[in-house]
Amino acid sequence: MKKLTLFIVSDSIGETADLVAKAAASQFRQELKTVSMKRFSHVEEESQLEEIVFLAKRQDAIIIYTLVKSDMRKKIKEECAINTIQCIDLMGPIVDKIGTVLNEEPLEEPGLVRQLDDDYFRKIEAIEFAVKYDDGRDPRGVLKADIVLVGISRTSKTPLSQYLAHKRYKVANVPLVPEVDPPEELYMIDPNKCFGLVISPGKLNSIRRERLLTLGLKDDASYAKVARIEDEISHFKKVVSKIGCTIIDVTNRAVEETANVILSEISNRYK
């Protein structure tokens, strides 16, 4: 079985090249056994490139690089040619093409994509918001949120809130339990920003039983019984009907899929 080593070389942290290389390698059945990766981050000196190419030659590796400085790209390409090492430039062709179209010279400053900007701070603010107003701990967040999620226990409200927060949306989520009246704030919001999450009783029964076992408890507690789950779903339907919000069935959906449904709904409403 042939083994392959990929050298990831970057003047920043190298995450982009690493992700592309992993995506490419995943297309081969034996990639976990045969493909290994080594990342070289913050490479800013030509002498470092010479050392990396030397190591690549000894290990018969392929070099994949994202270097924003044209002289560094030229240097590693020359070194690879001299040493008959295969190399792939992920950054250069794109930067050159954009520069040609814009008729502008690139800044050639590593790490610009990760500089702290307004977009970054909006994401952090949204993440903090999702944590603060998770699981109905403070109903005042319902009135401040961009998106409100409601649902019974174990319908992925928290992970969905965090995923949407990374998309820069302030999300509050509220659990619905038959024995507890939902906060009045739920009936005061625009129903267009509220989404009810529902799941099939059978699927939820399986999820809750697994959860109980993980906690070291018996899986026959009332919490996991189908009759209890059906009561909770019935209560859920009454509440969301009163709110007038959209209901999304998350039974066979990953968090990302549910998030895409919500974002698509929002986008269509405000076109």
Number of domains within the chain: 2
Mean pLDDT computed over every residue of the chain: 92
Residue 155 assigned to a binding site: yes
Residue 156 assigned to a binding site: yes
Residue 84 assigned to a binding site: no
Boundary-marking domain end, from 96, 114, 132: 114
Boundary-marking domain end, from 52, 82, 114: 114
Q: Which of 112-116, 206-210, 218-222 has the weakest average pLDDT?
A: 112-116
Is the CB of residue 64 less than 8 Å from the CB of residue 86?
Answer: no
| Chain segment 103-161, per-residue pLDDT in tens | 999 999 887 776 656 778 889 999 999 999 999 999 999 999 999 999 999 999 999 99
Q: CA-CA distance, 52 to 54, in Å (whole number)? A: 5
One domain for residues 137 and 257: yes
Strand order of the β-sheet with 194-198 is 171-175, 147-151, 194-198, 246-249
Supply the pTM of this predicted model.
0.62
One domain for residues 110 and 138: no
Residue 241 assigned to a binding site: no
- Encoding tokens for residue 237? 């339907």
- Of 112, 115, 108, the C-alpha closest to 72 is 108
Strand partners, 6: 37, 62
The answer on pLDDT for 185 being more than 80 is yes
Phi-psi category of 152—alpha, beta or left, where left has phi over 0 and alpha has psi -120 to 50? beta
Boundary-marking domain end, from 65, 87, 114: 114
Residue listed under structure tokens 């056994």: 33
Residue 157 assigned to a binding site: yes
Q: How confident is the model at residue 190 (pLDDT cuts 50, 70, 90)?
A: very high
One domain for residues 152 and 251: yes
Residue 161 assigned to a binding site: no
| Chain segment 52-84, per-residue pLDDT in tens | 999 999 999 999 999 999 999 999 999 999 999
- Of 145, 177, 176, the C-alpha closest to 161 is 145
Q: Annotate 131-163 with DSSP letters as a single string.
A: HHTGGGS-THHHHH-SEEEEESTTSSHHHHHHH
One domain for residues 201 and 219: yes
How confident is the model at residue 110, as a pLDDT? 87
Q: How confident is the model at residue 33 (pLDDT cuts 50, 70, 90)?
A: low
Q: CA-CA distance, 109 to 96, in Å (whole number)? A: 15
- The secondary structure of residue 221, as a DSSP letter, is S
Contacts of 194 (CB under 8 A, 6+ apart): 147, 148, 149, 150, 186, 240, 243, 245, 246
One domain for residues 136 and 215: yes
CATH of the domain at 160: 3.40.50
Q: Note down the domain range covering 179.
A: 118-269
One domain for residues 159 and 245: yes
How confident is the model at residue 85, as a pLDDT? 96
